Structure 1
Amino acid sequence: MVHSKSWHDQRLVEIPHFASEILGNTRSLFVYLPPDYHENTERRYAVLYMHDGQHVFSADASGESWDMHVTADRLVAEGPMDGILIVGIATVPDQRLNEYFHEHPNMHLAFKPPFDGDRYEAFVIDEVMPYINRTFRTLTGPEHTAMMGSSAGGIVTYNIGFRRPDVFGHIAVMSPYFVKADFDEKGELREIPFYHRYGTHPKLRVWLDMGGAEGTFMEKYAREEAERLVADGFVPGEDLMLYLHPGAGHSQSDWAARAHAPLLYFFGRIGKPEALEICGGEIVGVKGPDKRINPVVTYTSGFMQTVMRATYTVLDPQLLEVKPDGTLIAKSPGTTRVIVQYGNCTADKEITIVDALPERVNVTVTVKVPASTPTYPSLYAGIEVKPAGDGLYKGSAMIPHGLTFTFKVSHGFGRHERLKPDSGITRRSFVASSDQELYYEVEGWEI
């Protein structure tokens, strides 16, 4: 049964208790209809399927809203995109990771089974899509069908896209959970790549992104996968778009802020390059960790992407070299400027070269919680912190130099601290630029 919600002349509908014989469970589907859906009754529309559907159009206790209806309406009103349908497929409590992970030997290195990704894939293709196509006026075929997901929803999008390009012609893989990265008992970062690479080049357009402040998710994973896709035959700017978003964290509000870009890439008109900015790479060592700059180009439509290959000029080449992929090769201490060009756009930035930078820095975090807080096994404050007595939690970790964390203190998935609304602070953040000790005080917890 379709239930309309009180919004935009009943253009957001919920299908509650949608039953799956394949998975043996039920969930809600949420469907956005474009502005002219009820007027142009002969028209059919392309469809975007999204995971974590309970957050696609609204917020709940465990997460913010992507507000995809707001973004889609805006793009249609402004002109760069025609109307589409958006289908949000809700998760089932306690089944999210099971359903979003496909069975593969690498998975067993990082997680315990069951892995029901194959069955979830069949549920989407063989149960959800036929229902949507019967109930609403859709355009069918991969050229009109896209999928989008973030975090674990990003990896299931990646898997389904490469497994079934005959069904989905476009995939948006946002902040993908490709690698399990955590800290061992000594505070050393360990990284376990668990996703399966296909090494193929199907007829598929891929949007791949990562925020620069996602902590241990690390934008390097998205960049490395983009390079591998290029080796597989994908062409940057054509069937592959990479966007490394400076300062973005791992939350619905961060994904919402850039969701317009894959919508334009799949269904709209991105326009022409309008501005170019060089992000990152402010300081690099002759000795120490590899550093890259991130040239981001913005288009007249508001679309943006990271330029994977660019032309660079260094004013003092005896100090620094920049490879076409943005890698900085430091030669001698000093300061110079780097100029990058993409199309008719040009940008420049000052880069400081020092003798050496540390590979990792030691960060110690202490969190004070309210007296009414139960004793949790651990909290998350960029890194894991554990009970230290007297309402304190403490932890230390060796973190790669330059890594940025943006977060709320939490005691489980979606269970965050409550920040004062008049403080102007929506999240906390720190940059692992040097050894440091950080202290946070939790005022209260979200209900």
Structure 2
Amino acid sequence: MKKIIFIVIFALFFIIGCSSLRVEKQSEVKNLRVEEGIKKIKLTWDTIKDKRVAKIEIKRNYDDFRKYFKRIRELSPNENSIEIEHPAYLLMEYKVSLKYKDGTESKGKSITATAKHDSVFLDEVDGRKMEIYLPPSYKKDKSKRYPVIYMHDGQSMFTTTYLGNNWEIDKIMDRLIAKDKVEESIVVAIYNRNRAEEYIPYEDKQQQKYGNFKKSKSKELGDFIEKKLIPYIDGKYRTIPTKENRAVVGCSTAGLYSLWEGINYSNLFSMIVSVSPSYELGNDKIFEEMKNTPKKNVKIWIDVGTSEWDPKPRKMIKILLSKGYVYGKDLFYYEVKDGEHFSTSWKERIEYPILLFKGKKLERKVVEIKPEVEVGVSSRTNELSEMVNPVAILDDGVKYSLLGSAEYFSLDNKAGNIDKWGNFKFLQNKDFEIEVKYGNIKKKIKIEKKEINNEEKRLGIRR
């Protein structure tokens, strides 16, 4: 009996072993190759002959550190190529695997790829990387020279940036130029290294606690830009090498730096663009420096979104006004309703300072004002601001806040009042109207008590 059982077990193992030997190995795509195009790539491979294959899966590496691949497309087994949009100059890894009818999937074949750009090119000075945007006529008209816009945080300025975290400045410039709204200009996007050390021009103990700040290198960066980077750009590219034809742009921490750089190196730039600036970094020392610095021959743009609300840009505007800057002429401020501290918001308004820098319309006039009611709480100071923000719309499309240059009148002084900066206050538990006047333009806006209460509640304000 034992002998029979042994023979049966042996036979079963033999049958199972033989059947496993008969299982065919999973195949892979063969001869995987890549063609690099303008902001796209094309993957090709030999036609799949394995009849067991149900689909071809295309994945892309979305994390250089963890090698995380995300599926971007599925194809039928008879297809042997695919075109994919790809950020220019960004090296990414693609994996092509085969999905079988039995539900299994092959290990996959990988290939790395990058794409080209038709108007943005990589460059470098002393190890400092840059991306350079050249306008449409640059290659055609060899005699023409161009203004230059210098932008900090250069890794995120163009459509070369990964995961959509970019300003799309190349698209914005192309659009403004095509509409003949702005002079053709070169854009130099300067890569950062250590953002905190380079963009905070003062000692900052709080940043030191985070471990990414030993000492400020803002002066070193400013000297490098003045003595090496700008001379290199003026020497290699057909620029107009004058202060009047240079602007500097930065956002967030780089927004702080751009104001500091533009003022301290005012011999280099005629326009400063400070987007959603982090003026609190460096223990608010930028305010003291601006108070003690005479007016410079520069035009300044500062903006902030109400969803990231910070009252300090308003404070900076008041300091600059006290130094002699003229609002609406060489000083502009824009409060963006629902604007966030992110590139998706910044790229929606960056064209306004670009137009102020080199717009084709030399004389502008306000054609409309749109008063907006705003309620904001600073995430940094917890300060509550309730105000009317009259947005001026110019005849070339530029928008900016009128702030202290408009006149405000409460139409019911018993119900509520408003100061010269647009800050309003309820005196009774009821709505009241405000009239905003700028030149010959007048607009009324209703301040609704219930709406303000709801907004305060949403922001977590208790009275």
Q: Normalized against structure 2, the TM-score is what? A: 0.66
The question of whether the paired residues in 2 share the 8 Å contact of 1:5 and 1:14 is answered with no
Q: Which residue of 2 aligns with 1:6?
A: 38
The question of whether the paired residues in 1 share the 8 Å contact of 2:290 and 2:320 is answered with no
The question of whether the paired residues in 2 share the 8 Å contact of 1:271 and 1:300 is answered with yes
**Inter-partner Cα distance in structure 1 for 2:349 and 2:37:** 26
Residue 136 (structure 1) aligned with residue 255 (structure 2): no
Change (3 A) 1:60 1:41: closer
**Inter-partner Cα distance in structure 2 for 1:77 and 1:170:** 23
Residue 432 (structure 1) aligned with residue 453 (structure 2): no
**Inter-partner Cα distance in structure 2 for 1:282 and 1:113:** 37
**Inter-partner Cα distance in structure 1 for 2:456 and 2:267:** 41
Q: Which residue of 2 aligns with 1:382?
A: none
**Inter-partner Cα distance in structure 1 for 2:314 and 2:305:** 11
Corresponding residue to 1:48 among 149, 161, 179: 149
Residue 295 (structure 1) aligned with residue 396 (structure 2): no
Give, as a single letter, the amino acid of the residue that structure 2 aligns with 1:100. Answer: Y
Query: Aligned-pair distance for 1:163?
Result: 0.3
The question of whether the paired residues in 2 share the 8 Å contact of 1:146 and 1:170 is answered with yes
Q: Deviations over 1:414-438 (max 9, x none)?
A: xxxxxxxxxxxxxxxxx41447xxx
**Inter-partner Cα distance in structure 2 for 1:338 and 1:351:** 7
Q: Per the alignment, in what secondary structure is the counterpart of residue 209 of structure 1?
A: strand
Q: Which residue of 2 aligns with 1:117?
A: 218
Q: Higher helix proportion, which one?
A: 2
Q: Higher strand proportion, which one?
A: 1
Residue 307 (structure 1) aligned with residue 307 (structure 2): no
**Inter-partner Cα distance in structure 1 for 2:141 and 2:422:** 48
Range with greater deviation from structure 2 (264-273 or 63-72) = 264-273
Q: Deviations over 1:213-270 (max 9, x none)?
A: 11xxx33111111111101111110110000111010111111110100000111137
**Inter-partner Cα distance in structure 2 for 1:434 and 1:290:** 11
**Inter-partner Cα distance in structure 1 for 2:418 and 2:145:** 48
Residue 206 (structure 1) aligned with residue 300 (structure 2): yes
Task: Please list, as runs of the form range in 1=range in 2, the aligned pairs for 1:241-390 lying within 5 A after superposition.
Answer: 241-268=332-359, 269=361, 271-281=364-374, 291-308=386-403, 309-353=405-449
User: Could you say which structure has the greater relative contact order, defined with CA pairs below 8 angstroms and 6 or more residues apart?
Assistant: 1
The question of whether the paired residues in 2 share the 8 Å contact of 1:297 and 1:305 is answered with yes
The question of whether the paired residues in 2 share the 8 Å contact of 1:155 and 1:178 is answered with yes
Q: Which residue of 2 aligns with 1:234?
A: 325
Q: Per the alignment, in what secondary structure is the counterpart of residue 307 of structure 2?
A: coil
Change (3 A) 1:231 1:160: same
**Inter-partner Cα distance in structure 2 for 1:282 and 1:66:** 27
Corresponding residue to 1:58 among 159, 176, 191: 159
Q: Which residue of 2 aligns with 1:81?
A: 182
**Inter-partner Cα distance in structure 2 for 1:6 and 1:27:** 24
- Aligned-residue sequence identity (percent) comes to 23
Query: Aligned-pair distance for 1:291?
Result: 2.5
Q: Per the alignment, in what secondary structure is the counterpart of residue 417 of structure 2?
A: strand
Query: Aligned-pair distance for 1:275?
Result: 2.7
Query: Aligned-pair distance for 1:273?
Result: 2.2
Query: Aligned-pair distance for 1:319?
Result: 1.7
The question of whether the paired residues in 1 share the 8 Å contact of 2:222 and 2:265 is answered with no
Query: Aligned-pair distance for 1:30?
Result: 0.7
Q: Per the alignment, in what secondary structure is the counterpart of residue 448 of structure 2?
A: strand
Residue 177 (structure 1) aligned with residue 271 (structure 2): no
Q: Per the alignment, in what secondary structure is the counterpart of residue 48 of structure 1?
A: strand
The question of whether the paired residues in 2 share the 8 Å contact of 1:57 and 1:69 is answered with yes
Q: Per the alignment, in what secondary structure is the counterpart of residue 40 of structure 1?
A: coil
The unaligned stretches of length 5 or more in structure 2 are 1-35, 40-115, 377-382
Corresponding residue to 1:99 among 165, 189, 198: 198
Q: Per the alignment, in what secondary structure is the counterpart of residue 74 of structure 1?
A: helix
**Inter-partner Cα distance in structure 1 for 2:185 and 2:328:** 23
Query: Aligned-pair distance for 1:322?
Result: 1.9
Give, as a single letter, the amino acid of the residue that structure 2 aligns with 1:328. Answer: F
**Inter-partner Cα distance in structure 1 for 2:187 and 2:275:** 17
Change (3 A) 1:282 1:345: farther
The question of whether the paired residues in 2 share the 8 Å contact of 1:319 and 1:332 is answered with yes
**Inter-partner Cα distance in structure 1 for 2:325 and 2:120:** 36
The question of whether the paired residues in 2 share the 8 Å contact of 1:282 and 1:351 is answered with no
Q: Which residue of 2 aligns with 1:186?
A: none
Q: Deviations over 1:63-84 (max 9, x none)?
A: 6111111111111121221111
**Inter-partner Cα distance in structure 2 for 1:119 and 1:173:** 20
**Inter-partner Cα distance in structure 1 for 2:241 and 2:303:** 26
Q: Deviations over 1:344-372 (max 9, x none)?
A: 44332211358x979xxxxxxxxxxxxxx
**Inter-partner Cα distance in structure 1 for 2:182 and 2:365:** 15
Query: Aligned-pair distance for 1:126?
Result: 1.3
The question of whether the paired residues in 1 share the 8 Å contact of 2:243 and 2:269 is answered with yes
Query: Aligned-pair distance for 1:5?
Result: 8.6
The question of whether the paired residues in 2 share the 8 Å contact of 1:319 and 1:353 is answered with no
The question of whether the paired residues in 1 share the 8 Å contact of 2:259 and 2:272 is answered with yes
Range with greater deviation from structure 2 (340-349 or 256-265) = 340-349
**Inter-partner Cα distance in structure 1 for 2:326 and 2:140:** 39
**Inter-partner Cα distance in structure 2 for 1:327 and 1:29:** 43
Change (3 A) 1:42 1:5: farther
Q: Which residue of 1 aligns with 2:63?
A: none
Q: Deviations over 1:10-29 (max 9, x none)?
A: 422111xx243xxxxx2321
**Inter-partner Cα distance in structure 2 for 1:332 and 1:402:** 17
Give, as a single letter, the amino acid of the residue that structure 1 aligns with 2:172. Answer: T
The question of whether the paired residues in 2 share the 8 Å contact of 1:154 and 1:174 is answered with yes
Change (3 A) 1:232 1:62: farther
**Inter-partner Cα distance in structure 2 for 1:198 and 1:45:** 31
The question of whether the paired residues in 2 share the 8 Å contact of 1:281 and 1:291 is answered with yes
